Amino acid sequence: MFCEPLGREAANALPALQEACDRLAAIGIAALRFSYAGTGDSAGRLDDPERVADWLHSVEEALASAQTVTAGPVVLIGMRMGALLAAEAIALGAEVGGLIQWDPCTSGRDFLRLEQTLLATGYGGVQKGDGSAAGPAFTYSPETVRLLTEMTLDPCPPSATRRDVVLVRVNGRGVSAARTRFGSAPVEWVEIDGQAELVDVYPELLTVPATAIKAVTDRVDRIIDAPAGAVRFEPTASAVVGHDARGGMISEHSVWLGPNSLFGIITEPSSAGAEASPTLVFLSAGALDHTGPGRMWVELARRLAGDGMRSIRIDLDGIGETFGRPAQARRVPKPPESIDDLADLAAALGDPDGRNLVFIGLSSGAYHGIEAGLHLHPSAVCAINPGLASPVAEMEQGAIDTRRRAYRPMPRVLRTLAVKHARAARLVWWAALQVWVTASPYDSLTGVSRRGTPVLLIASESDMVQFFEPSLYWSVVCRRLERRGLLDIEIMSGGDHSLYTEDGQDQAYSVLTPWLVSHCGRRSRASTR
């Protein structure tokens, strides 16, 4: 049973946890992954009160579930802060056959300091100064900060039937002090490598640590020395994740759609008539899964369900929980196969033309939304910081895949020039776009609107650089489309492309939510509580 890390680290850890589960299943050991309350797809919000107590209760509930699946012993495997939560659950009375702490944080204080540092240095984010702690995409309340700060890497209460293992980085920070605290406790210490390349990098750049995964699976295999038995697992059809202002239930269920089994979570409002409203399609961003940056798609889907809107959060192939094509590369933003996935998704939802679908995406997800608008006939497209000119997978081979209709890169000769003379290359490209109008990103953006589909573009000041100042031609076209209600362009202050800062998320929410309600929902309903 895997206790995942918290916050940003959970997204990076996902591929390693998936691989570990697959390897365990291959040797006949059932494996369970879950999300704590207020994280992932679980009910609740990160800023709800008593979060740490709820997280420990989540471990308890997952353990109870695991014990109904098979009759054999259960091994808890916690990574980073998940390792400390697993140990705390044992200290509170959880009985397991083994505990493996995988690259554990030495303390909650160290974890929060690292998150704050990453936010400041990587995204220019600042702290509120109210006792909360903000990291990339996630903010922990003052109460949660206080309780996490009290947690440290310490030995669990001794047990004659439990085997404890700690996997630590070679020369890891704070490890020697932690080993001193453990003293003579019967714990196996194992040095592993590859963790920095897993959790300390951007999600699309991570490397799955094969040696660490092998160390985990080998030790689980040794701990679980029990006869084979049947696995009894009955998936839940749906779950209530919130209530609207009238007390109606908001529910969710998982689906696998299309020929490549695209994984998604459907959020259903309680109100009658939702079937007549468009279905919102939240597309994954970059290498992030369907939950979105800082869990933004989860929060937005449930908030908009309170306004009577149905939605689906989807993982395109190669991302998150979708493992469709056998040869599909993992965690590659904007692969050309994703364009086929959009058509497959629409058909699987019973709407081959997409006329009753609204595509919503950030970064590569926004790019895919615009591609959907050019290939299908959706009800609307909402694009946040779309990557219409950034590199794509096949660019190094030369030719751009012919399925791409929205992509508008700088020509290769200018990209080469930009390596040493970026300003000159941009100036030449700007001049060319004044006459070569179909090469402009505005051609893709307005191409959707010119087909009769309303488009909302939300872009940070730095992301608007890719669009340049519109030529006279595109200025006229955009104004005409805006007057017809087919194009809205909203610019956010700052340069938060990934919406990893609270300010960036708030700006996006403040524009996206009312636009969707006005175009797709009913204003009379309140947000999910």
Model confidence over 241-281: pLDDT tens digits?
999 989 999 999 999 999 999 999 999 998 755 566 899 99
Residue 64 CA, chain-centre distance (Å), reads: 27
With CA atoms as reference, report the closest residue to 293 among 368, 360, 392: 360
pLDDT above 70 covers what percent of the chain?
Answer: 97
The answer to whether the CB of 101 falls within 8 A of the CB of 153 is yes
**For 228-242, 317-331, 400-414, 442-456, which range has the lowest pLDDT when averaged over its residues?**
228-242
Look at residue 273 in the predicted model and tell me its pLDDT.
52
Distance CA 74, CA 67 (A): 7
Q: How many residues appear in the chain?
A: 529
Look at residue 229 in the predicted model and tell me its pLDDT.
82
Confidence category of residue 141, pLDDT binned at 50, 70, 90: very high
Look at residue 396 in the predicted model and tell me its pLDDT.
76
Q: Which helix (H) or strand (E) holds 101?
A: strand 98-102
Distance CA 32, CA 62 (A): 8
SS3 content of the chain, % helix, strand, coil (to 5): 40, 15, 45
**For 201-210, 271-280, 331-340, 448-457, which range has the lowest pLDDT when averaged over its residues?**
271-280
What's the whole-number mean pLDDT along residues 133-152?
Answer: 97
Between the alpha carbon of residue 443 and those of residues 50, 217, 471, 519, the distances in Å are: 50, 51, 11, 23
Rg (CA), the chain: 24
The alpha carbon dihedral of 496, 497, 500, 505 has a sign of: positive
What's the whole-number mean pLDDT along residues 416-432?
Answer: 92
Give the DSSP letter of residue 477.
H
Count Cβ neighbours within 10 Å for each residue of 446-476 and write b for 16 or more, e otherwise: bbbbeeebbbbbbbbeebbebbbebbeebee
The answer to whether the CB of 56 falls within 8 A of the CB of 34 is no
**Cα dihedral angle (391, 392, 393, 395), rounded to 10 degrees?**
-70
Q: 434 φ, ψ to 5°?
A: -65, -25
With CA atoms as reference, report the closest residue to 378 among 399, 349, 403: 349
Question: Does 507 score more than 60 pLDDT?
Answer: yes
Give the DSSP letter of residue 165.
E
Question: Does 482 score more than 80 pLDDT?
Answer: yes
Confidence category of residue 523, pLDDT binned at 50, 70, 90: very low
Residue at token pair 């700060």: 149
Model confidence over 20-69: pLDDT tens digits?
999 999 999 999 999 999 999 999 999 999 999 999 999 999 999 999 98
The burial of 426, by beta-carbon neighbours within 10 Å (0-12 exposed, 13-18 middle, 19 or more buried), is given as: middle
* Nearest-5° Cα angle at 255, 8 to 366: 50
First to last CA, the chain: 31
pTM, full prediction:
0.95
With CA atoms as reference, report the closest residue to 157 among 220, 94, 106, 219: 94
